[in-house]
A and B are shown apart, each in its own frame.
Chain A
Amino acid sequence: MHEQMTAPRRAFLRLLALGSGALAACRAKAPAPLPSLLGAPISPYGERSPFVHAARQVSDRSRTPEQASSLTPLADTYGVITPSSLHFERHHSGVPKIDPDQHKLMIHGMVDRPLVLTVDEVRRLPSVSRIHFVECSGNSGNGWQPTPRPTVQGTHGLTSCSEWTGVKLSLLLDEVGVQKGASWILAEGADPAKMTRSVPLSKAMDDAMVVYAQNGEPIRPEQGFPLRLFLPGWEGNANIKWLRRLKVVDQPYQTREETSKYTDLMPDGTARQFTLVMDAKSVVTHPSGGQKLAGPGFHEISGIAWTGRGRVTRVEVSTDGGATWKDAQLQEPVFSRAHTRFRYAWDWNGQEAIVASRVTDETGYVQPTREELVAVRGVNSNYHNNMIQAWKVKADGSVEYAVI
């Protein structure tokens, strides 16, 4: 027998038909789907905001892209740590691509037990982490003449500061057993130029390190991946990148880098050699060349100070071209042989002002003026320019290079 459709069932079916028809009609008239309000997904290795553009700049003394320097944009960094991607570079034959599993560190020469270590073995040894600056001794070389540069990146950009992790060189030397009569170490890199420098044994046994990490991750290729010799407070060139060999010897080897280069010509024609330590130095990064202050009123004068001889103990700021000086605040903690941030609250009255900083370090050394330094060194020494740097803030707020 066939089912008789009841009235309620008929009504229901009619309603369903109406509803689905209505729904179909509804769908036909529906507005376009709304865009997602969700942000970008998670990612394996972060990038900075697309609205942030600070970048390293090629130094104008660069000969080729591989025999070149790139400068840290000091006016665009904060605190004391330089972002790893913005750490300055100075290369003599480009950045080699080294497989850490193939790389070796050899320690030999006047030692009881010559040793070859893999990178993994170096990483297994007891480690230390230290915050230290690196500065090329050619930094601010354009200041000798002096030659104006538009920005603090141009005048001072061959310096950066990172946290470095590695093994003490003294530990490695104890493992190999340094022989009596040894007094220097020849350090050699695995770049195409096989950069070499002679390092006094006393520094090697003091605070020297073989580092493999920078700011919490393996050291960047531009800073020497996988291993770098690190000599706190000493000129950048001696901190041999892509370190492959340490030979313990009894004299300096007079390498090209410590004779033809990185020696300081004096007015009498003699040249200072093994000028390894970086003298105390500071520079105001805000306000600095190329910036524009929005107008009179409150501005925080800020900058960095450092010394290869230990800790910065005082930074003074002048806003009248060096006529008077006032103490700035130092960011705590102050690390030894590291960038130290200083800050000074300034109420700008809108008139032209010449701003500068002056550092004193723990030895009592005070950063010299141009006049003081040139009186001793002349203008042709090329390296180790640590003189006071000034910036002129004009009435319209623009800032340019100045000499005091």
Chain B
Amino acid sequence: MAALIVSRIGLATIAGQSPTYKLGRTPTADEIKAWDIAIGPDGKELPPGRGTVERGKIVYAEQCTRCHGATAVEGPEAPLVGGKGTLNTKKPLKTVGSYWPYATTLFDYINRAMPFDRPTVMSADDVYAVTAYVLNLNGIIKDGDVMDAKTLPAVRMPNRDGFVPDPRPDVGPHKPKTGG
């Protein structure tokens, strides 16, 4: 322990204490790699691996059915499929297929947070696979399509253009003027 503390202090004075307050140290490449799991919309952080719809069906049955239902609509947790064309109706149904703007979010979220009670048990391959399966159930990719770091960011979700920036305040004297 003492040796570790000494070597760590040594490392800190060499490698990156903050300039003004001389606190902290530079993270190691391994430390960053272990935590740097966020996948942005261009997918450049997607890991190596691949998944088929067929493999996804198996993974889904093992990991997802118990909360999302046998065909991803039964629940008891959120339905993952359906709701197409309902967003501007009295009873909108927001699902991966009808609402999510980016397919990369699906990989990011499943990878970090699912299954609900045991997140991060799935390999990258299996996350690609179950992502492919959910996209396929929603009719967004075909049965034979394979999801990987190249193909996933290229998937264009049906509701990609469905989001607008915050226009508030939207009531009262300061609300944006509409029309001409």
Taking Cβ atoms with an 8 Å cutoff, the residues of A that contact B are 63-64, 67, 92-93, 106, 108, 113-118, 121, 124-125, 174-176, 186, 188, 192-194, 196, 244-245, 247, 249, 251, 253-256, 259-260, 263, 265-277, 279, 363-366, 368, 372-373, 376-377, 380, 384
Give which listed residue, A259, A265, A269, A366, contacts B172 with CB less than 8 A. A366
Q: By DSSP majority rule, is chain B's interface helix, strand, loop, or mixed?
A: loop
Known contacts A124-B23, A247-B38, A253-B40; is-contact A194 B169 (Cβ 8 Å)? no
Report whether B165 and A368 are in contact in the complex, using a CB–CB cutoff of 8 Å. Answer: no
Residues of chain A lying within 8 A (CB to CB) of residue B112: 193-194, 196
Stretch at the interface among B14-22, B51-59, B126-134, B139-147: B14-22
Report whether A364 and B174 are in contact in the complex, using a CB–CB cutoff of 8 Å. Answer: yes
Least CB distance, A216 to chain B, in whole angstroms:
24
Distance of A251 Cα from B113 Cα, bound (Å): 22
Least CB distance, A113 to chain B, in whole angstroms:
6
Least CB distance, B16 to chain A, in whole angstroms:
6
Report whether B41 and A271 are in contact in the complex, using a CB–CB cutoff of 8 Å. Answer: no
Distance of A121 Cα from B16 Cα, bound (Å): 14
Report whether B172 and A365 are in contact in the complex, using a CB–CB cutoff of 8 Å. Answer: yes
Known contacts A193-B112, A254-B102; is-contact A270 B170 (Cβ 8 Å)? no
Distance of A192 Cα from B117 Cα, bound (Å): 8
Give which listed residue, B21, B165, B173, contacts A273 with CB less than 8 A. B165
Give which listed residue, A194, A255, A363, contacts B105 with CB less than 8 A. A255
**Chain B: which residue is nearest A249 at the CB level?**
B40
Distance of A272 Cα from B165 Cα, bound (Å): 6
Report whether B101 and A256 are in contact in the complex, using a CB–CB cutoff of 8 Å. Answer: no
Q: Which of B73-103 contact A (CB under 8 A)?
A: 76-77, 87-88, 90, 92, 94, 96, 99-102
Least CB distance, A402 to chain B, in whole angstroms:
21
B166 at the interface (CB under 8 A from A): yes
Interface size band for B: 35 or more
Residues of chain A lying within 8 A (CB to CB) of residue B39: 253
Report whether A368 and B38 are in contact in the complex, using a CB–CB cutoff of 8 Å. Answer: no
Report whether B166 and A117 are in contact in the complex, using a CB–CB cutoff of 8 Å. Answer: no
Residues of chain B lying within 8 A (CB to CB) of residue A269: 87-88, 92, 162
Distance of A235 Cα from B92 Cα, bound (Å): 23
Least CB distance, B23 to chain A, in whole angstroms:
4
B104 at the interface (CB under 8 A from A): yes
Provide a sorted-by-A list of 28 A–B residue pairs whose CB atoms are within 8 angstroms.
A63-B76, A93-B116, A113-B16, A115-B18, A115-B27, A117-B23, A118-B24, A121-B24, A175-B18, A188-B35, A192-B119, A193-B119, A194-B113, A196-B38, A196-B112, A249-B40, A251-B40, A251-B42, A254-B102, A255-B105, A260-B99, A270-B164, A271-B164, A272-B165, A273-B164, A274-B166, A368-B171, A376-B175
Report whether A106 and B18 are in contact in the complex, using a CB–CB cutoff of 8 Å. Answer: no
Report whether A263 and B169 are in contact in the complex, using a CB–CB cutoff of 8 Å. Answer: no
Number of A-B contacts (CB under 8 A): 163
B66 at the interface (CB under 8 A from A): no
Known contacts A255-B38, A255-B108, A265-B87; is-contact A106 B32 (Cβ 8 Å)? yes
Which of B40, B41, B100, B119 has most A Cβ within 10 Å?
Answer: B40
Least CB distance, A302 to chain B, in whole angstroms:
25
B50 at the interface (CB under 8 A from A): no
Residues of chain B lying within 8 A (CB to CB) of residue A244: 35
Distance of A366 Cα from B172 Cα, bound (Å): 7
Known contacts A113-B26, A124-B21; is-contact A256 B109 (Cβ 8 Å)? yes
Residues of chain A lying within 8 A (CB to CB) of residue B164: 266, 270-273
Distance of A113 Cα from B72 Cα, bound (Å): 45
Report whether B170 and A376 are in contact in the complex, using a CB–CB cutoff of 8 Å. Answer: yes
| A-B contacts besides A113-B18, A263-B163, A269-B92, 4 pairs, CB < 8 Å | A121-B23, A253-B41, A265-B92, A269-B88
Known contacts A265-B94, A270-B162; is-contact A279 B168 (Cβ 8 Å)? yes
Distance of A368 Cα from B39 Cα, bound (Å): 39
Distance of A373 Cα from B170 Cα, bound (Å): 8
Distance of A115 Cα from B16 Cα, bound (Å): 7
Give which listed residue, A92, A270, A276, A279, contacts B169 with CB less than 8 A. A279
